[in-house]
Amino acid sequence: MANDAHAHAQSPALRVQFDTETQQKDASTLGMWLFLVTEVMFFGGMFLVYTVYRHAYPGIFAIASSSLNVYIGAANTIVLLCSSFTMVLAVRAAQLGQRQAIILFLILTLVLGGVFLGVKAYEWNEKFQEHHIPGSSFHFEGMQPDEQAHAQLFFSLYFAMTGLHALHMVIGVGVLLFLIRQAQKGKYSAEYMTPVDIGGLYWHFVDIIWIFLYPLLYLIDRHLKG
Amino acid sequence: MDKLPLFPEQASTFAPGVDHLTYFLLAVAVFFTVLIFCTIFYLAIRYRRRSDKELPHAPHGGMALEIVWSVIPFGITMVMFTWGASVFFNESRPPDNAMPLYVVAKQWMWKIEHMEGQREINELHIPLGRAVRLTMASEDVIHSFYVPAFRVKQDVVPGKYSTIWFQPTKPGKYHLFCAEFCGTRHSGMIGWIHVMEPQDYQRWLSGGAPEGTLSESGQKLFTDLACSNCHKADGTGRCPSLEGLFGKTVQLANGAKVVADEAYIRESILHPAAKIVAGYQPVMPTFQGLVTEDGVLQLIEYIKSLGPKPVVGGGGALGK
Amino acid sequence: MITAAVPERENYLNYKYGIKSWLLTKDHKRIGLLYLFTVTLFFCLGGAFATMIRIELLTPQGNFVSSETYNKLFTMHGVAMIFFFLIPAIPATLGNFFLPMMIGARDLAFPRINLLSWYLLVIGGLFSLFAMLAGGVDTGWTFYTPYSTTYSNSWVIATALGIFISGFSSILTGLNFIVTVHRMRAPGMTWMRMPLFVWSHYATALIQVLGTPVIAVTIILLFCERVFHIGIFDPTLGGDPVLFQHMFWFYSHPAVYIMVLPAMGIVSELVSVFSRKPIFGYQFVAYASMAIAVLGFLVWGHHLFVATESVYSALVFSFLSYFVAIPSAIKVFNWTATLYKGSISFATPMLYAFGFIGLFTIGGLTGLFVAALGFDVHVTDTYFVVAHFHYIMVGGTIMAYLGGLHYWWPKITGRMYPEGWAKLSALIIFLGFNLTFFPQFILGYLGMPRRYHVYPDEFQVLHVLSTAGASVLAVGYLMPMVYFIWSLRYGKVASANPWGATGLEWQTPSPPPVHNFDVTPIVTHEAYDYSTVIGQEVEVG
């Protein structure tokens, strides 16, 4: 215990259950990876449902998909990719102990994430205007009555999957705000930047989910006419 | 009071096979249960602790033993699998000459329709010694058609057809249960299967049905719903002729081929846009909400009756 | 007999008092006790529902409660027992308490997340409790669609939300355990020196982490369907009701291994210490736990044999279901072989271990029955299946849980329970259990479907036997509740290692200090090396 007490006195960030900072960092990192695995299983369930119904109604899904704005979706994809880049820069700054740079890049990431969410809100509003929101007022132009239900299925999946993704982005924004505040207080250094590291892991994961969502939802059959 | 029965009556061709499988499973289970119980009992007593200072020195591992008691149980389970699978396979393939019947399940009753038009609620009369194939639909939630004496069960899922077949071997009255929880009166959704001698069954059948045969009801629906406006028999209408359609392979507009079975016809009535026949336009409106599951089955029977030759199990009670 | 007159050394129970010190604790031992309290409440709730069910089934007619009420009773019995008792019980009470100690750690990797897990269970439990009190839910714990999404008029959403929230409790506990085992083992505590209790909790944690998110997303879709009518599972809108079943069982089958693997871990500990020998085939038992966890994910389709899945799917799932039985069989054989040339004690925990082995053997063998396609067609959705899973969950898991509680009670509380009463309860439970559930195998084969409020007269005798057994079983369960509480004040004060067990948890005083070990232990010998403890005081034999 003497050895442990000494180690804990030296590094205030070292929690009592851990013996060394390396152990703590390894545990936190493994914990975040495990959490991301659970998220894969979580989103995976949605992807499974999508796969089942796209296989059942391929034509309807293609038509419904083509009503989404592929350019806005592409722009949003680029925004998110850039935000992952700025996140990497933030992690790098933390490794180098550059407090100002950490804060700058985290804020940039936050802004880009905010842009993504804003564009999403705009897209959803567009869907609302077009009566593509599932429910009693759903109507897809030019489709037979019995096909409306299948188109509604596509949009249900669209909103469920992008909604779940957006929720994770919002949580990510919260995480970023926390990291920015902690960075401003000078809590991160080259010796201790684990929260920035694992925050980055989470952010990248949310980005990767979008990379899958974009083609599955927006790019089903771009050669479709009408 | 009777001796407490452990097995239900054996009243179908499946029952003895299932019961023999059960005897085998029981034998294995009893063997291993007795083996484990007795071994534990014996070892626990033989090696009971006699002093607090005892410190056993005994082997605590052995590859040979591990292999033996992994491989032998595995072998036994493979026998179980194979035997169970073969019984199951038999149950999944109705013979071609099975008499078709239709079942519509709804909360909380079984509606059964004979080809000749008889409608039964919660009862099913069938003749001894003839295979019977039920095509089943649900109007609402999932139900399950279960006859313990026949050892058969099949879920009835809304939105699709499921089939079950059996051949009764003993006259009598047997429980019919719904075996998938379906709401408040799930345990009231029960009935009887009446297996009759063939002559008695004929007599029961000739009691007749006021509405006419299933096929005749279907014909009436066909006219009432104006299907004949487009589906002209000579093929000059906007939609394909349905003569001889049942059982034929159909070429679709998207290049695929599909066999026109019960499920195809049901889908064509309720979701016509799903499969468009090659050379035709998607102009057929959906009849979902306009026709019940019963009605769909009647239309199917009518369509089956159209054309040069009757197909799988078509015709009356004794038809071949 | 020493009573509480001895001045108490500081330990995790007395170092701080007050409700805040419990509700805001980060100590895994206190959190384990918080869980113990919570799961016991839900066990009593589920037990109350079971009592009413068995009373109703005494007679063929439905004259005790209405059909609607009955349907709610069996649903809520299932929900309470499965999600709020069986899934959390062993991992979150005994696992939380002892996993860190067994590997020489001061706590779990993430103590605050551990506390959050408990709060999530409580919040989820409150949602479900609200649903039960506000009118109940009647869909069966399996929530099959479209009944649950379109037709049921009961509190489906509240219950589903409760289960959804408690699912995160399970995921976080699993995550915590995995990281702890990977990163916080004391020096010298290699994987192959870990107690088998730890191995089984590790395997369980893998299932919790991989499987639970799938039921979470299934519940989200159920929620959306019921609230927004979007058509995911509604056939009239193009959805597939059987898709729900696939997704539901993808989690719920591995879930049964979440419920039984920790129990097997307890049994390994008990058989070893009360034979004074290492478990026969340690490596095989350890790997068998992992095999069960992996194979358990591959068999969900055996719940859909008659649900209109294809014949070929059914064949594959039946085949794989036999595979998952083999590691369990290996464990039973290894436990039995451990007794050979051992020094067998018949202390209460060992009686429960024997009970587990016997009843789990029967339950597991009947699993082989239902894995056989031709057999399952006849008995699925009948009382045969009900008997099968109760043999494993009650005859198995609950017996092991009780065995573990008795075994570790002196360590947790510093007191011994009364051995005579404990042995009597164990016997009553064993007899009551078999009388309750064995007749149900026969009922099932005779054709009595499950979830039936009223039934044909010819099934009554067997139901009466079953209800008689249930009353005996209830008495058996009440007894430990009484004497455990009694022992807190009047039980004999326990020493550090009353059973002469190996395992790092027994190297600490009873009850343990807040940080478990004054000095981080260094492990130099294999698990279950009794030569290191022989000569220490042994409490009962």
The owner of tokens 């072998």 is: B75
A145 touches chain B (CB under 8 A): yes
Whether cis (ω within 30° of 0) applies to the bond prior to B108 is: yes
pLDDT score of B79 more than 70: yes
* pLDDT at residue C541 tops 60: no
- Tens of pLDDT, residue by residue over B3-56, are 557 899 999 999 999 999 999 999 999 999 999 999 999 999 999 999 888 888
Work out how many domains chain B is built from and give that number. 2
Q: What is the pLDDT of residues C371-414, one digit of tens each?
A: 999 999 999 999 999 999 999 999 999 999 999 999 999 999 99
Contact B6 C382 (CB under 8 A): no
Do A45 and C213 make contact, defined as CB atoms within 8 angstroms?
Answer: yes
Shortest Cα–Cα distance, C236 to chain B (Å): 7
- Residue in B89, B145, B123, B21 with CA at minimum distance from that of residue C381: B145
Query: Crossing angle, helix C196-228 and helix C241-273, to 10 degrees?
Result: 160
Residue C442: how many other CB atoms lie within 10 Å: 21
Helices (H) and strands (E) in chain C, counts: 17, 0
- Phi, psi values for residue A64, rounded to 5°: -65, -40
Q: Which residues contact A34 (CB under 8 A, 6 or more apart)?
A: C175, C178, C179, C209
Query: Which of C373, C464, C466, C530 to mutate: most B Cβ within 10 Å?
Result: C373
Tens of pLDDT, residue by residue over A160-198, are 999 999 999 999 999 999 999 999 999 999 989 999 999
Same domain, residue pair B87 and B175: yes
Q: Tell if the CB–CB gap between C281 and B61 is shorter than 8 Å.
A: yes
Digit-coded pLDDT (tens) for C157-185: 999 999 999 999 999 999 999 999 999 99
Mean pLDDT of C121-150: 96
Residues B12 and B154 placed together within one structural domain of the fold = yes
What is the residue-averaged pLDDT of chain B?
A: 90
Does ipTM exceed 0.95?
A: no
**Chain A residues with CB-CB distance to C236 below 8 A:** 149
Residue C291 domain flag: yes
| pTM to 2 decimal places | 0.93
* Residue B312: per-residue pLDDT: 47
Q: In this structure, what token pair is assigned to residue B242? A: 């349905």
B112 and B202 co-located in one domain: yes
pLDDT over 90 at A145, yes or no: no
pLDDT at A1: 42
Given B210, B228, B247, which residue is the final one in a domain? B210
Q: What is the pLDDT of residue C7?
A: 58
Q: What tokens appear for C136 in the block?
A: 């109940």
Q: What average pLDDT score do residues C177-202 get?
A: 97
> Is B52 a domain residue?
no
Query: For position B285, what pLDDT does the model report?
Result: 86
B239 DSSP 8-state letter: S
Q: Is residue B285 part of a domain?
A: yes
Nearest to A90 by CA among A24, A10, A191, A188: A188
Contact C213 A42 (CB under 8 A): yes
pLDDT exceeds cutoff 70 at C281: yes
Whether residue B58 lies inside any domain: the answer is no
User: Tell me, what's the pLDDT at A87?
Assistant: 97
Residue C339: HSE in the Cβ half-sphere, 13 Å Cα cutoff:
25
> Rounded to the nearest 5°, which phi and psi values hold at B201?
-65, -45
pLDDT above 90 (res C248): yes
- Alpha carbon of C192 to those of A159, B20, C63, C177, C503: distances in Å? 48, 45, 58, 17, 13
Place of tokens 């194939």: B133
The whole-angstrom distance between C247's CA and the closest CA on chain A is 8
In this prediction, residues C458-479 reach a mean pLDDT of 97
> What number of CA atoms fall less than 13 Å from residue A146's CA on the CB side?
22
Residues B190 and B239 in one domain: no
The amino acid occupying position A138 is F
> Is residue C537 in a domain?
no
- pLDDT > 70 in chain C, percent: 97
Would the pLDDT of C149 be above 70? yes
> How many Cβ atoms from other residues are within 10 Å of residue A68's Cβ?
21
Positive or negative CA dihedral for C399, C404, C410, C414? negative
Q: Is the pLDDT of residue B204 over 50?
A: yes
**pLDDT at residue number C4:** 52
User: How many domains does the structure of chain C reveal?
Assistant: 1
Residue C326 has pLDDT above 50, yes or no: yes
- What burial class does residue B130 get, using C-beta atoms within 10 Å of its C-beta: 0-12 exposed, 13-18 middle, 19+ buried? middle
The answer as to whether C254 is a domain residue is yes
A2 confidence band (pLDDT: 50, 70, 90): very low
For testing contact with chain B, the best of A52, A57, A140, A146 (most B CBs within 10 A) = A146
- Residues B146 and B130 grouped into a single domain: yes
Among B142-151, B235-244, C107-116, C336-345, where is mean pLDDT lowest? B235-244
Whether residue B166 is found in the same domain as residue B242 = no
Residue C85 included in any domain:
yes
At residue C512, does pLDDT exceed 90? Answer: yes
Instruction: State the pLDDT at residue C228.
Output: 87
Give me the residue label for tokens 């709060």: C119
> What CATH number is attached to the domain comprising C148?
1.20.210.10
Report whether pLDDT(C25) > 70: yes
List the single best residue of B2, B108, B142, B267 to mutate versus C (max C Cβ within 10 A). Answer: B142
> Which residues in chain C are closer than 8 Å to A49, comparing Cβ atoms?
221, 232, 243, 247
User: Is C541 within the bounds of a domain?
Assistant: no
Q: Could you say which of A17, A52, A134 has the minimum Cβ distance to residue C105?
A: A17
C75 lies in which domain range? 3-532
Question: With bands split at pLDDT 50, 70 and 90, how would you rate the model's confidence at B311?
Answer: very low
Residue B318 lies in a domain: no
Q: Is residue B232 situated within a structural domain?
A: yes
With a cut of 60, say whether residue A89 has pLDDT above it.
yes
Does any domain span residue B204?
yes
pLDDT at B319: 35
Query: What does the pLDDT read at residue B59?
Result: 79
CA of A22 to nearest chain B CA: how many angstroms apart?
37
| Long-range contacts of residues A162-166, Cβ cutoff 8 Å, at least 24 apart | A162/A120, A162/A124, A162/A213, A162/A217, A164/A42, A164/A43, A164/A46, A164/C220, A165/A206, A165/A209, A165/A210, A165/A213, A166/A117, A166/A120
Query: Which residue, B210, B225, B256, sits at the end of a domain?
Result: B210
- The answer to whether residue C123 is domain-embedded is yes
Contact B272 A145 (CB under 8 A): no
d(CA C512, CA C29): 9
Tens of pLDDT, residue by residue over C36-55, are: 999 999 999 999 999 999 99
> What stretches of chain B show up as alpha helix (H) in DSSP?
15-46, 63-92, 198-205, 214-224, 227-230, 262-270, 293-305
What CATH number is associated with residue B151? 2.60.40.420
Q: Please give, rounded to a whole number of angstroms, the shortest distance from the CA of C16 to a CA of chain A.
A: 18
CB C237 within 8 A of CB A149: yes
Amino acid C489: pLDDT? 94
pLDDT tens digits for range B90-140: 999 999 999 999 999 999 999 999 988 889 999 999 999 999 999 999 999
Give me the pLDDT at residue B2, please: 43
Q: Which CATH architecture has domain A38-224?
A: Up-down Bundle (1.20)
Whether B239 and B206 share a structural domain: no
Q: Which of B160, B254, B270, B271 to mutate to test the interface with A (most CBs of A within 10 A)?
A: B271
Residues B197 and B283 in one domain: no
Statement: residue B221 has pLDDT above 80: yes
Q: What is the CATH number of the domain that holds B285?
A: 1.10.760.10
Whether the ω angle into residue A58 lies within 30 degrees of 0, i.e. cis, is no
Based on the number of CB atoms within 10 Å of its own CB, is A3 exposed (0-12), middle (13-18) or buried (19 or more)?
exposed
Query: For residue C476, is pLDDT > 60?
Result: yes
Average confidence (pLDDT) over B301-314:
67
Terminal-residue alpha carbon distance, chain B: 45
Predicted confidence band of residue A92 (pLDDT cuts 50, 70, 90): very high
pLDDT at position C297, please? 97
Give phi and psi for B291, each to the nearest 5. Answer: -135, 140
Model pLDDT, residue B214: 87
pLDDT in tens, C51-67: 999 999 999 998 999 99
In this complex, which chains have at least 3 CB pairs below 8 Å with chain B? A, C
Are B32 and B143 part of one and the same domain?
yes
Question: In this predicted structure, what is the pLDDT of residue C536?
Answer: 56
Dihedral of the CA atoms B141, B147, B148, B149 (nearest 10)? 180
Q: Is B100 helix (H, G, I), strand (E, B) or coil?
A: strand
- Choosing from B169, B193, B210, the residue where a domain stops is B210
C110 touches chain A (CB under 8 A): yes
Looking at chain C from residue 294 to 323, which residues have their Cβ under 8 Å from any Cβ of chain B? 305-308, 311, 314-315, 318-319, 322
The Cα of C320 is separated from the nearest Cα of chain B by a number of Å equal to 10
- CB-CB contact of B133 with B101 (8 Å): yes
Closest chain C CA to residue B26? C369
Q: Is residue C16 part of a domain?
A: yes
For residue C540, pLDDT over 70 is answered with no
pLDDT recorded at residue A10: 66
Asked if residue B243 belongs to a domain, the reply is yes
Domain that holds residue B165: 7-39+64-210
